[in-house]
């Protein structure tokens, strides 16, 4: 029997993912941007939820205020495989009787590819905001992990001057071997024209933040609450840059999700 896919809500990633899946089975959609709703007459084999899955109201990200999980009743059962990104821990309670649940963003290959897309999009977004090239710009990357590593590499490829900040000496040594300047988070601040934060908590002291000055652009790549303290009013400009793969490169981001699904489903 032909595989049935039901894609729910989300952003343009879901639109492009539907296009990629159409050659692999029957594709149905509910609340996907740019597509009319089409629902299966039986539980879907694969139920693909948004990435990230839920909004602040606890609803599936979708049109308007979002979609209640109850809207999916009848379209899944114990044999349905559930896929999505940033799935809540209680997703099984929200979808009672569902089958296997897979958190796509925990897949190392998906996470690495999303990191590369995030870095590429962040560089382009920064140049748009500043209306200048990153060439020769003095840039600081806070954190050197899944997003920080490709961010530093993209900046270096654009011939920016890259400084990497990391807590662990071994991580700083790794960055130094690639030719980056390295700092500990407690090092005295220095003037930077752009700071790319990948740390989801405050890593710099208020003194260090104040020292960045009004000519700096803070690019916030981390998930909430981000690297700035609550209530802090910086002198510098702040560029919110969360969920960039879906916002800026949805077609490529959809291909990344597809690879994660294919690896688990054994489909071509």
What tokens does 53 get?
């899955």
Report pTM. Answer: 0.92
Separation CA 129–CA 85 (nearest Å): 28
Q: How far apart are CA 189 and CA 211, in angstroms?
A: 6
Q: Say how far apart CA 75 and CA 268 lie, in whole Å.
A: 25
How confident is the model over 148-159, as pLDDT tens digits? 999 999 999 999
191-223: per-residue pLDDT in tens?
Answer: 899 999 999 999 999 999 999 989 999 999 998
Distance CA 223, CA 208 (A): 21
Give the pLDDT confidence of 181-198 residue by residue, as tens digits. Answer: 999 988 766 789 999 999
Give residue 63's pLDDT.
87
Instruction: Write out pLDDT tens, residues 93-131.
Output: 999 999 999 999 999 999 999 999 999 999 999 999 999
- At 266, the pLDDT band (50, 70, 90 cuts) reads confident
Domains located in the chain, CATH noted: 4-106 (3.40.50.720), 115-244 (3.40.50.720)
Rounded distance, CA 172 to CA 181, Å? 9
The predicted-structure confidence for 68-92, as pLDDT tens digits, reads as follows 999 999 999 999 999 999 999 999 9
Kindly state the average pLDDT of the residues 247-262.
Answer: 97
């Amino acid at each position: 029997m032909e595989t049935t896919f039901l894609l729910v809500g989300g952003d343009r990633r879901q639109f492009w993912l539907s296009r990629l899946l159409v050659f692999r089975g029957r594709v149905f959609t509910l609340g996907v941007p740019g597509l009319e709703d089409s629902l299966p007459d039986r539980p879907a084999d694969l139920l693909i939820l948004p990435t990230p899955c839920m909004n602040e109201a606890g609803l599936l990200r979708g049109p308007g205020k979002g979609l209640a999980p109850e809207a999916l009743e009848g379209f899944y059962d114990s044999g349905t495989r559930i896929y999505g990104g940033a799935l809540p821990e209680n997703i099984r309670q929200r979808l009672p009787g569902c089958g296997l649940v897979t958190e796509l963003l925990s897949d190392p290959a998906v996470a690495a590819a999303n990191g590369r897309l995030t870095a590429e999009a962040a560089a382009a977004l920064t140049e748009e905001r500043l209306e200048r090239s990153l060439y020769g710009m003095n840039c600081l990357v806070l954190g050197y992990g899944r997003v920080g590593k490709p961010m530093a590499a993209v900046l270096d490829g654009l011939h920016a001057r890259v400084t990497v900040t990391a807590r662990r000496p071994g991580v700083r040594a790794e960055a130094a071997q690639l030719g980056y300047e390295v700092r500990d988070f407690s090092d005295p601040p220095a003037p930077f024209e752009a700071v790319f934060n990948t740390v989801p908590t405050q890593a710099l002291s208020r003194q260090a933040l104040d020292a960045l000055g009004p000519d700096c652009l803070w690019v916030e790549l981390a998930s909430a609450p981000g690297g700035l303290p609550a209530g802090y009013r910086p002198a510098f400009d702040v560029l919110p840059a969360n969920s960039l793969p879906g916002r800026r490169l949805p077609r490529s981001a959809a291909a990344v999700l597809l690879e994660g699904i294919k690896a688990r489903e054994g489909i071509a």
